[in-house]
Amino acid sequence: GESVGLHLPTLSVQEGDNSIINCAYSNSASDYFIWYKQESGKGPQFIIDIRSNMDKRQGQRVTVLLNKTVKHLSLQIAATQPGDSAVYFCAEKGPSDYKLSFGAGTTVTVRA
């Protein structure tokens, strides 16, 4: 079946640098995308979302980019901090879907 996946399972980033987390999706009909952050022992926490009629959306220190041509989604974190260490999941939903489909996740480790 179609699913959302991530390019890399782990990412190590120096504190203060920018992080880029990538996600490839296969369902061209998906029209809603979302990034979640999951810290150890906690539930996933909403970071930012984007609809398919947009290419870019910015939040506080985070930017999501959507490239529908190549079915690619990315999350950029500016000035990465130790508190950003977590597993990041992208998820997608199609227009007829009620549920989000999640990728496998990328573990981000911030080096001091």
Partner 1 sequence: DSGVTQTPKHLITATGQRVTLRCSPRSGDLSVYWYQQSLDQGLQFLIQYYNGEERAKGNILERFSAQQFPDLHSELNLSSLELGDSALYFCASGVDRGHGYTFGSGTRLTVV
CB of 4 to partner 1, least distance (A): 9
Nearest to partner 1 of 18, 45 (CB atom): 45
How far is 13 from 82, CA to CA, in rounded Å?
10
x/- track of binding to partner 1 for residues 18-57 (CB under 8 A): --------------x-x-x-----xxxxx--x--------
Nearest to partner 1 of 16, 44 (CB atom): 44
Burial state string for 2-31 with b = 16 or more CB within 10 A and e = fewer than 16: eebebeeeebebeeeeebebbbbbebeebb
**Cα dihedral across residues 67, 9, 50, 100: positive or negative:** positive
Q: Which residues bind partner 1 (CB under 8 A)?
A: 32, 34, 36, 42-46, 49, 89, 91, 93, 97-105
